Amino acid sequence: MKVAIMQPYFMPYLGYIAIINYVDEFILFDTPQFIRHGWIERNKVLKLDGDTMYIKVPLVKHARNTTIENVIINNNLSWKHKIISQLDHYKKRAPYYKNVIALLHEIFDEEYSSIVSLNYKSLQILCRYLGIITPISIWSEMKVEIDEVKAPDEWALHICKALKYDTYVNLPGGRSFFDVQKYEREGISLSFLELEPTQYKQFSNVFVPFLSIIDVLMFNDVSQVKEMLKNFNLK
């Protein structure tokens, strides 16, 4: 049985979605300290000229050591309307613009106080649209007791042991972070899923990979995206 444990990203890139599709359970790891300039409250989409820009959820100012689960959205700002407006230029050339905007409206119709609750709901709706049935859990709400963590790579190790998973899957960027032998001693396999970027028609002839899932869905129907999700290597 396979599990992935990752921080809750906002409208993540396709590789993140591919991991959700591949594993038996996906856990949003929301107890670490929030780090600025990451992907938890923002992601990248295209401008009409082929350059990129951020869509971003504004956050209430918080202490440096605040954990992700306690990061609050600044709902005094009209961020939902701003994000929808930032995507308006896709209407000109993206064949599935209406589908994506409908998905965003479904997500944004609810009120959210925390960034975790927004990202959790967003992933649920995105997965339903793509026919992905993997259960998604929030770590801080699971109330699972695990062994004492003495090193950063032991969070996933002890969670796997507690939940009886024998395979832990991560993105390739985390390969150097984990002690493979430590996992092997516990009978847990480590796999790193690397998605091969599939080029698709964007605004210009220069393809820009690793953008938000929003960009992928703007230009591709569900069947095309499902095929992209299969195009990965396990290392």
pLDDT in tens, 4-56: 999 999 999 999 999 999 999 999 999 999 999 999 999 999 999 999 999 99
Sheet holding 167-170, edge to edge: 136-138, 25-28, 2-6, 167-170, 189-195, 232-234
Which DSSP string corresponds to 168-182?
EEE-GGGGGGS-HHH
Q: Model confidence over 148-196: pLDDT tens digits?
A: 999 999 999 999 999 999 999 999 887 888 999 999 999 999 999 999 9
CB neighbourhood size of 43 (10 A): 23
Residue spans of alpha helices (H) in 1-108: 14-22, 79-86, 97-108
Chain centre to alpha carbon of residue 142: 19
Cα–Cα distance between 194 and 158 in angstroms, integer?
A: 24
Q: Model confidence over 185-234: pLDDT tens digits?
A: 999 999 999 999 899 999 988 999 999 999 999 999 999 999 999 999 99
Output b/e per residue, 119-156; b: 16+ Cβ within 10 A: bbbbbeebbebbebebebbbbeeeeeeeeeeeeebbbb
Burial (CB count <10 Å: 0-12, 13-18, 19+), residue 70: middle
- Residue 192's domain comprises 2-234
pTM for this one?
0.95
Cα–Cα distance between 199 and 196 in angstroms, integer?
A: 9
Q: Give me the pLDDT at residue 205, please.
A: 87
Q: Model confidence over 66-97: pLDDT tens digits?
A: 999 999 999 999 999 999 999 999 998 999 99
Half-sphere exposure of 58 (CA within 13 A, CB side): 11
Q: Give me the pLDDT at residue 174, please.
A: 79
Q: How far is CA 108 from CA 13, 57, 78, in A?
A: 19, 12, 11
Q: Give me the pLDDT at residue 60, please.
A: 98
**Residue 24 backbone dihedrals phi, psi, to 5 degrees:** -90, -20
Domain count, the chain: 1
